[in-house]
């Protein structure tokens, strides 16, 4: 079985629990076929797919290490929930994030490093999100309701991006994403030095 790889911002345990608490409250209204394990929550920056050559992956790891040494830590904020796919029968149910220039710029840097090494990446515009569930399974159409737009409001919805991971997908395990490499972003003090 081929192993797929991707680079992503992990969601720390406190915010995994925050999302899980929200899901527990509303899950009976949301008949999706499969729910993502909380340890697998992440924000994908670049999906690499089947890597094939180990040398290519090693070269990418070196390039990402060089890049993150100049990237300071920054904050992100959870904001609302939405879907991808047909509005009535969506394929992906996800948590959103407030717009972040830091995240957009960082994703572009990671994306560019991947392309420099020779990875062919999806050219669709970057839509940062945290996948929560897949495949609507009810015969009744999905309908958006106000709690989706206002999910996470008034809670401790902000979190610091301190690192990113290179993940490997293991389809036969739960959780299914395994950390292969961790890249630490810099504190403001270390960037100034």
Per-residue CA distances from 148 to 6, 139, 143, 144, 171 (Å): 28, 20, 10, 7, 29
- Whether 150 is a known active-site residue: answer no
d(C-alpha 140, C-alpha 77), whole Å: 32
Closest by alpha carbon to 41, among 94, 85, 89? 94
Catalytic residue among 129, 150, 158, 165: 129
- Whether 42 is a known active-site residue: answer yes
Catalytic residue among 42, 150, 158, 165: 42
SS (H, E, C) 79-138: EEEEEEECCCCEEEEEEEECCCHHHHHHHHHHHHHHHHHCCCCCCCCCCCCEEEEEEECC
| Residues carrying an active site annotation | 42, 129
């Amino acid at each position: 079985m081929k192993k797929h790889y991707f680079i992503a911002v992990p969601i720390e345990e406190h915010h995994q629990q925050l999302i899980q608490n929200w899901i527990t409250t509303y899950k009976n209204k949301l008949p999706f076929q499969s729910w993502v394990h909380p340890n697998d929550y992440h924000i994908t920056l670049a999906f690499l797919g089947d890597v094939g050559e180990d040398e290519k992956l090693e070269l990418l790891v070196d390039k990402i290490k060089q890049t993150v040494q100049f990237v300071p830590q920054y904050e992100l904020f959870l904001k609302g929930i939405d879907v991808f796919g047909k509005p009535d029968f969506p394929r992906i149910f996800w948590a959103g994030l407030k717009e972040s220039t830091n995240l957009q710029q960082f994703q572009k840097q990671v994306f560019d490093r991947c392309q420099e090494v020779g990875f062919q990446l999806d050219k669709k515009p970057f839509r940062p999100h945290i996948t929560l569930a897949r495949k609507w399974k009810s015969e009744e159409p999905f309908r958006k309701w106000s709690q989706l737009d206002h999910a996470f409001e008034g809670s401790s919805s902000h979190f610091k991006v301190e690192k990113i991971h290179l993940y490997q997908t293991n389809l036969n395990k739960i959780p299914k994403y395994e950390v292969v490499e961790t890249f630490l972003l810099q504190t403001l003090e270390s960037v100034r030095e």
